[in-house]
Amino acid sequence: MQFVDINGLALHYQIIGGPAHRPVLVFVNSLGTDFRIWRDVLVRLAGDYPLLAYDKRGHGLSDVGSAPYTIDDHVDDLVGLLEHLKIENAVICGLSVGGLIAQGLYARRPDLVRALVLCDTAHKIGTADAWNARIAAVEEAGIESIADAVMERWFTPGFRQADNPALPGYRNMMSRQPANGYTGTCAAIRDADFTEAAARIAVPTLCVVGDQDGATPPDLVLSLARLIPSARYEVIRDAGHIPCVEQPEALTAVIEAFLAMVVSGDAPHG
C-alpha cells in the first residue's frame, strides 16, 4: 500500500507504471466508495498506460481531516498528489463526485490536464434540500440507514439479485466509510456548481453514463456534454451509476477508443 502526506492528511493511492510516452490516467472515485471500484478497469488498461488511483479524503484508507469539505478541498488534495508524483498532462477520469473534482481541477490547474473522462457526473448534482436531507439522515442513523436506497441508484435490477455476492460487498464498502467523510463530501457536492465553468473546458472530454443510472441519469450527463465544447457523449448499456463495476469491459472499450484519439491528436476539443 502507498500513502503520502498531502495537506496534512494521509492519502492512500496506487500507481501502476506504463509507457512513459503516454499520459497518466488518474481515477477519482465516487461518494461512499474507495478506489477498488476501478479494479476491473485498471486490470484491462494496465501495461498500456500509466495508472493512478487514490482514495479521496474521508474515504477508504485516507484520513478524514476536518469535515465538512468543499470541492476545493478535494481539488487541493488531487493537485498535491499530482505534484508530489510529478504528474502533468494527465487524463483525469472522475466518477460522480470524482467528476466534479475533475472539473474543479481543470478550472484551477488546466496545465495538469490533458483530457477529461467525466463518468456518471454533471455540472451540478442534486439540490441543496436533497443533500441536506441525506446529511441529516446519516447524522441521525448512520450510513447503514440509507444504504439500500443508494444501492438502487448505483446498480441495475439485474445486479441487485439476491444471489449476487457482489451486492452486499459493495453495500459493505459504502456502509463502512467514515460517516463524517461521507457527509462532508455530501456538503461538497451540494455546494459545487460548474455550469459556467463547463463552457470553458478546452481539452478533449468524454462524458459517459450508464443507461440505468439512478443518481445522475443520462439526460443530466448529456446536459453536461452539451455545455462542454466538442465533448463526446457515450451511454453504457445495462449499467447503473457505477459502470466500472457492472460493465467494466464496455466502459474500458469506450475509454480506450477515446484515449486513442487523444494520443493521436484526433480528439476534438475547445
Average pLDDT score over the chain: 97
pLDDT in tens, 135-176: 999 999 999 999 999 999 999 999 999 999 999 999 999 999
Count of other CB atoms within 10 angstroms of residue 188: 27
Checking if the pLDDT of 270 tops 80, the result is no
pLDDT of residue 265: 85
**Sequence spans of domains, the chain:** 2-264
pLDDT of residue 58: 98
How many CA atoms are closer than 13 Å to the CA of 264, on its beta-carbon side? 9
Checking if the pLDDT of 101 tops 80, the result is yes
pLDDT in tens, 167-202: 999 999 999 999 999 999 999 999 999 999 999 999
pLDDT of residue 1: 80
Angstrom distance (rounded) from CA 104 to CA 116? 11
pLDDT in tens, 224-240: 999 999 999 999 999 99
* Confidence class for position 269, pLDDT limits 50, 70, 90: confident
First to last CA, the chain: 38
> What is the CATH topology of the domain spanning 2-264?
Rossmann fold (3.40.50)
pLDDT of residue 267: 80
Task: Please give the share of the chain, as a percent, with pLDDT higher than 70.
Answer: 100
For residue 252, the 8-state DSSP code is: H
Angstrom distance (rounded) from CA 98 to CA 121? 8
Question: Do residues 197 and 103 make contact, with C-beta atoms less than 8 angstroms apart?
Answer: yes
Radius of gyration of the chain (CA): 17
pTM beyond 0.75: yes
Question: Do residues 224 and 232 make contact, with C-beta atoms less than 8 angstroms apart?
Answer: no
Average pLDDT score over residue span 69-91: 97
